[in-house]
């Protein structure tokens, strides 16, 4: 089930992100593990503004989340994380569909994200969910600036891409 988080659940989401990121160690991206998760302030703002959703277990415990932001007025899937033991059960897909539906309701025609092109649970995963890689020459200025920030945090630019999904 996908729902909006309760205020007391916000503090659990960085832990979910940190645990989900552990799998990057298997593809030589330890730097991702070292990066700080989404801030509590950012997550709380997302909750208050209706752009944060969580996946919950049958016992109503948070097991994943998705956060949408609006850089440059675009709909952007900023973070998608699902606990490792809950992956492969459709929770990530359901969270993506929730974000896409919300973006559509707000009048957006496209949903964007940035990810690793060669990590199986990144670009190939999003491609199977209707996203396509954007040629670098088509990236708006705001996207280039975001990726420059990601590069400064240690994301290897040659492995990164921006993807879009028409809504």
Bridge partners (DSSP) of residue 56 are 62
> What would the two tokens of residue 116 be?
């690793």
- Phi first, then psi: give them for residue 102, nearest 5 degrees: -65, -45
Q: How many residues does the chain have?
A: 167
Q: Give tens-digit pLDDT for 86-121.
A: 998 999 999 999 999 999 999 999 999 999 998 999
Strand, helix or coil at 165?
strand
Question: What pTM does this model have?
Answer: 0.91
- Phi first, then psi: give them for residue 115, nearest 5 degrees: -165, 180
Q: Give tens-digit pLDDT for 122-147.
A: 999 999 999 999 998 887 877 877 77
CA distance 156 to 61: 34
How many alpha carbons fall within 13 Å on the CB side of residue 109?
0
Whether residue 43 has pLDDT greater than 80:
yes
> What would the two tokens of residue 17 be?
């992100």
Task: Confirm if 94 and 103 have CB atoms less than 8 A apart.
Answer: no
CATH number for the domain whose boundaries are 2-166 = 3.40.630.30
Task: Confirm if 2 and 53 have CB atoms less than 8 A apart.
Answer: yes
| Mean pLDDT calculated for residue range 50-62 | 97
């Amino acid at each position: 089930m996908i729902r909006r988080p309760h205020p007391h659940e916000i503090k659990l989401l960085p832990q979910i992100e940190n645990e989900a990121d552990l799998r990057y160690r298997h593809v030589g991206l330890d730097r991702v593990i070292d990066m700080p998760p989404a801030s509590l302030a950012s997550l709380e703002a997302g909750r208050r503004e209706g752009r944060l959703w969580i996946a919950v277990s049958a016992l109503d415990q948070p097991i994943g989340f998705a956060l949408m932001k609006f850089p440059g007025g675009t709909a952007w899937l900023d973070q998608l994380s699902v606990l490792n033991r809950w992956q492969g059960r459709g929770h990530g897909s359901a969270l993506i569909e929730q974000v896409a539906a919300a973006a559509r309701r707000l009048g957006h025609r496209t949903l964007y994200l940035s990810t690793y092109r060669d990590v199986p649970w990144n670009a190939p995963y999003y491609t199977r969910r209707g996203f396509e890689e954007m040629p670098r020459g088509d990236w708006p200025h705001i996207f280039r600036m975001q990726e420059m920030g990601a590069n400064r945090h240690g994301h290897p630019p040659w492995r990164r891409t921006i993807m879009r999904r028409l809504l």
